[in-house]
Amino acid sequence: MEREKMHRLLRDMMLSRVFEERAAEEYQKGNIVGFLHLYPGEEAVAAGVINAAGPSDYIVSTYREHAHALVRGVPPRAVMAELFGRATGMSGGMGGSMHMFDRERRFMGGYGIVGETYPIAIGIGYAIALRALPESVICFFGDGAVNQGTFHESLNMAALWRLPVLFVCENNHYAIGTDIHRHSAVPEVYKRAAAYNIPAEKIDGMDVLKVYDATRHALDRIRRAGGPQFLEFETYRYRGHSMADPGAYRPPVEVKAYQVIDPLTIGAREIEFRYPTPAELAAVGPDNIARLTEHMISVGHLEEEEVAQIRKEVEAAVEDAVQFSLASPQPTMADAWQHLNSNRRHEQLLQA
Amino acid sequence: MTQELLYWQALNRALDVEMAADESVFVLGEDVGLYGGSYRVTEGLYAKYGEARVRDTPISENSFTGLGVGAAMVGMRPVVEIMTINFAMLALDSIVNGAAKIPFMSGGQFPMPLVIRVPGGVARQLAAQHAQRLESMFMNVPGLRVAVPSTPQDAYWQLRQAIASDEPVVLLEHEVLYFTKGPVDTMAEPPPMHQAAIRRAGKDLTLIGYSRTALQAQEAAAELARDGIEAEVIDLRSLNPIDWKTLSDSVNRTHRALVIEEDCRHAGAGAEIAASLAERCFFSLDAPVQRVAALDIPTPYNGALEAASIPRVADITAAARALLGPREKAAA
């Protein structure tokens, strides 16, 4: 992989991490309200998958989608302002954390109901197939979502009609608070795709390079052969399910074990006071946080001091996003009605 | 050009015209293709437009309705047929959380030119799981539009208008109306999709119905006329939005209103109509707005009990007479 691409991955992951930690702070300050599901720990999946997609591909995401939007290229300002509920947010302040949309970037939404992304994705896939376009849909979902009926319904239709959909399972091992061994009879999620003859692979979701390569190959296969593909990425979220969830159901040793294979570089570590220190990490053994950084340094794509530079840049971008959001206007009720009726165009409905 | 068509034929004609005119229109649902549709509405379309545009789906209501939602987001104009409204319960997530919400919660970025056609109502001894109305459930979802054609002409017009709309429309088709016949003028300019129609003019009271009950109201009005009672009959044609102007203009003239609904009485469609008319027309009403509604009971299989659980013409005429009270006695 060339230098530029690796830098892009590193930067996207660092931006996602710093952004989410800042979102948590702003939540505690009361600037962000409602449900807030954060992504730390899973960055390698968003960065690897979405960077492997082309601009004409569609992304359908879940309620844990801030990082997906950022990696897709939505400006941090628009993402943060949506969390703040401001008129300048990517959904005009109408959607919030769980409902981020960007039509221009083919970012087809964050959905708040578990298992909703599949039907939307196969619908977009159906439209692509009808129009015979060389595009694909990337459909995100978690391990908790594979026990919804829509999983089976939609995979069946995708396979039956050979729709260009890449199903991407972000397996963080928990359906909110229930461990995968307690919610799934077959905990190897990728095996379920075999029931619908959909080619599937399980990938280490803590290794962004592997994520990227697997996605690129899967998308190539979709473009060549037309039918759906399925990737399961094993990953982990460091935080609870949402800000309302301290995550107390998880053994500390488990959280820590995953944190030592953190997909991020040490670059963002200083602000993550609750994670193990570099010394602690070193004591545990090889660290996946350093995996990308070390790899990049070893192949001559990164200098030590560049890490600090990238960190400075993403922190500045996030700070700018927060300031922008604070200064942004609140949407009015007139804006809300306008959004509701925006598709009415020339149609005159009856006056109430 | 006016032809006599059955209700299902009018719907079929509307689909054909729209599919021929616009390649982004496609139909999907259970048995809509090769089989031709449970009520023949999609008959012949599979042969004409092929399986990609007339798609037989697996029995997966939530996902194929959601497929329509996703396709509509990228500019297709899907017409989803859910075999009966009872099965729409399985697709409520796609309808309520998806189609109705996405245009709004995306800040107006996405259109939702989706039509969901749903046969429903109490037909003939199909029992509790196949004989529901449920229109009030959809009326309570902002962002959805609900049309309820009672005639072949309206079925033709309103389906075409629904397909042309960029907002999600639920078209509630009554199962006993599919084989009713009426004139369909395919060239005439249709009224606005949600405008109510005055089916019969009268001065003594206003009978308000929709879908099948609009026809029953007309029968009742004809019967009342024999006793010298002049009932005005309004066919709502739409339950969201509701044409309040036509309704309140009529009630302000007649001073009495009777709502006839096949929905169950408790929190049914009629509850909204009665409450709103009370707010809008209180000072011109001579009596409280009354309802003739279905009983609050799951539909019995037994034929006599089934018939007794929903409004009959005799129930409407009796309620109308009661509403007129002393005036009716004076006339007699």
pLDDT of residue A333: 98
| DSSP E strand stretches across chain B | 2-6, 25-29, 54-56, 77-81, 115-120, 145-147, 169-174, 181-185, 197-200, 205-209, 231-235, 238-240, 257-264, 290-294
End-to-end CA distance of chain A: 60
8 Å CB contact of A340 and B63? no
Per-residue pLDDT for A158 more than 80? yes
Q: Are residues B125 and B273 in the same domain?
A: no
Q: Which residue of B has its CA nearest to A345?
A: B166
Distance from CA of A126 to the nearest CA of B (A): 7
Per-residue three-class SS string for B143-187 = CCEEECCCCHHHHHHHHHHHHHCCCCEEEEEEHHHCCCEEEEECC
What is the tens place of the pLDDT at every residue in A33-44?
999 999 988 999
Q: What is the dihedral of CA B222, B228, B229, B231, to 10 degrees?
A: 50
Query: Percentage of residues in chain A with pLDDT exceeding 70?
Result: 90
Q: Are residues B151 and B204 in the same domain?
A: no
Q: Are residues B39 and B126 in the same domain?
A: yes
Pick the last residue of a domain from B144, B161, B185.
Answer: B185
Check CB contact of A228 with chain B, cutoff 8 Å.
no
The helix/strand/coil state of A35 is coil
Domain count, chain B: 2
Q: Give all strands of the β-sheet with A165-171 in edge-to-edge order.
A: A107-110, A58-61, A137-142, A165-171, A229-234, A200-204
Plot region of B294 (φ>0 → left; ψ -120 to 50 → alpha; else → beta): beta
pLDDT of residue A271: 36
Any idea which residue has 């989410």 for tokens?
A20
Q: Which residue of B has its CA nearest to A58?
A: B74
Pick the last residue of a domain from B152, B185, B218.
Answer: B185
State how far Cα A291 lies from the chain centre.
Answer: 20
Pick the last residue of a domain from B134, B155, B185.
Answer: B185
pLDDT of residue A273: 36
Tell me whether residue B230 is one of the annotated catalytic residues.
no
Nearest to A150 among B57, B63, B104 (CB): B63
Q: Are residues B156 and B37 in the same domain?
A: yes
Please tell me the distance from the alpha carbon of residue B86 to that of residue B30, in angstroms, as a whole number: 14
- β pairing state of B25-29 and B54-56: parallel
Distances (CA, A) of B4 to A55, B10, B152, B182, B187: 52, 9, 9, 5, 14
More confident residue, A174 or A189: A189
A-interface mutation test, from B65, B73, B106, most A Cβ less than 10 A away = B106
Considering the candidates B18, B30, B81, B130, report the single residue annotated as catalytic: B130
Q: Which residues pair with B56 in a beta bridge?
A: B29
Segment B14-24 shows an average pLDDT of 98
State how far Cα A327 lies from the chain centre.
Answer: 27
Please tell me the distance from the alpha carbon of residue B152 to that of residue B9, in angstroms, as a whole number: 8
Q: Which residues pair with A233 in a beta bridge?
A: A170, A203
Q: Are residues B219 and B158 in the same domain?
A: no
Q: Which domain holds residue B78?
A: 2-185
Distance from CA of B76 to the nearest CA of A (A): 7
φ, ψ of residue A110 to 5 degrees: the values are -105, 135
Segment B51-80 shows an average pLDDT of 98
pLDDT of residue A350: 82
Per-residue pLDDT for B328 more than 80? no
8 Å CB contact of A94 and B106? yes
What is the tens place of the pLDDT at every residue in B160-207?
999 999 999 999 999 999 999 999 999 999 999 999 999 999 999 999
Q: Are residues B129 and B177 in the same domain?
A: yes
Q: Which residue of A has its CA nearest to B65?
A: A119
pLDDT of residue B236: 98
Q: Are residues B154 and B263 in the same domain?
A: no
Reference A147, options A169, A131, A125; nearest CA is: A169
Considering the candidates B61, B81, B135, B173, report the single residue annotated as catalytic: B61
pLDDT of residue A278: 53
Per-residue pLDDT for A2 more than 90? no
Q: Which A positions 109-138 lie with beta carbon below 8 A of chain B? A: 109, 111-113, 116, 118-130
Q: Are residues B161 and B201 in the same domain?
A: no
B-interface mutation test, from A84, A124, A344, most B Cβ less than 10 A away = A124
Which long-range CB contacts under 8 A does A253-259 form with residues at least 24 apart? A256/A284, A258/A41, A258/A206, A259/A41
Please tell me the distance from the alpha carbon of residue B250 to that of residue A223, in angstroms, as a whole number: 61
Please tell me the distance from the alpha carbon of residue A300 to that of residue A46, in angstroms, as a whole number: 25
pLDDT bracket for residue A263 (50, 70, 90): low
- The helix-helix angle for B61-73 and A117-131 (nearest 10°) equals 60
Please tell me the distance from the alpha carbon of residue B1 to that of residue A182, in angstroms, as a whole number: 65
8 Å CB contact of B143 and A352? no
Which long-range CB contacts under 8 A does B86-91 form with residues at least 24 apart? B86/B120, B86/B129, B86/B130, B86/B131, B86/B132, B87/B61, B88/B61, B88/B116, B88/B118, B88/B134, B90/B61, B90/B62, B91/B61, B91/B62, B91/B64, B91/B65, B91/B66
Segment B95-104 shows an average pLDDT of 98
pLDDT of residue A41: 84
8 Å CB contact of B98 and A120? yes
Segment A263-282 shows an average pLDDT of 45
CATH topology classification for A3-326 = Rossmann fold (3.40.50)
What is the tens place of the pLDDT at every residue in A204-252?
988 999 999 999 999 999 999 889 999 999 988 777 777 777 777 776 7
Tell me whether residue B61 is one of the annotated catalytic residues.
yes
Q: Which residue of B has its CA nearest to A151?
A: B63
Please tell me the distance from the alpha carbon of residue A80 to that of residue B214, in angstroms, as a whole number: 52
Please tell me the distance from the alpha carbon of residue B76 to that of residue B53, in angstroms, as a whole number: 11
Please tell me the distance from the alpha carbon of residue B97 to that of residue A117, in angstroms, as a whole number: 12
Per-residue pLDDT for A284 more than 80? no
Flag the least confident range among A112-116, A271-275, A302-306, B227-231.
Answer: A271-275
Per-residue pLDDT for A274 more than 50? no
Q: Which pTM was predicted?
A: 0.93
Q: What is the CATH number of the domain that holds B124?
A: 3.40.50.970
Nearest to B107 among A94, A121, A129 (CB): A94
Please tell me the distance from the alpha carbon of residue A215 to that of residue B168, in angstroms, as a whole number: 34
Reference B119, options B237, B7, B43, B199; nearest CA is: B7
Tokens standing for B115? 């039509």
Q: What is the dihedral of CA A75, A81, A86, A89, to 10 degrees?
A: 30
pLDDT of residue A264: 62
pLDDT of residue A290: 62
Mean of per-residue pLDDT scores for chain A? 89
Q: Are residues B90 and B139 in the same domain?
A: yes
Flag the least confident range among A57-61, A205-209, B231-235.
Answer: A205-209
Please tell me the distance from the alpha carbon of residue B291 to that of residue B297, in angstroms, as a whole number: 16
Q: Give all strands of the β-sheet with B205-209 in edge-to-edge order.
A: B197-200, B231-235, B205-209, B257-264, B290-294
Per-residue pLDDT for A347 more than 60? yes
pLDDT of residue A245: 76
8 Å CB contact of B62 and A153? yes
Which residues from B are below 8 Å from A157, CB to CB? Answer: 57-58, 60, 63-64, 67
Tokens standing for B28? 């999907």
Q: Are residues B47 and B176 in the same domain?
A: yes
pLDDT of residue A237: 79
Q: Are residues B30 and B74 in the same domain?
A: yes
Please tell me the distance from the alpha carbon of residue A83 to that of residue B137, in angstroms, as a whole number: 31
pLDDT of residue B171: 98
The helix/strand/coil state of B10 is helix
Q: Are residues B121 and B145 in the same domain?
A: yes
Q: What is the CATH number of the domain that holds B301?
A: 3.40.50.920
Chain A, chain B: beta-carbon pairs less than 8 Å apart? 164
Q: Is residue B191 part of a domain?
A: no
pLDDT of residue A282: 46
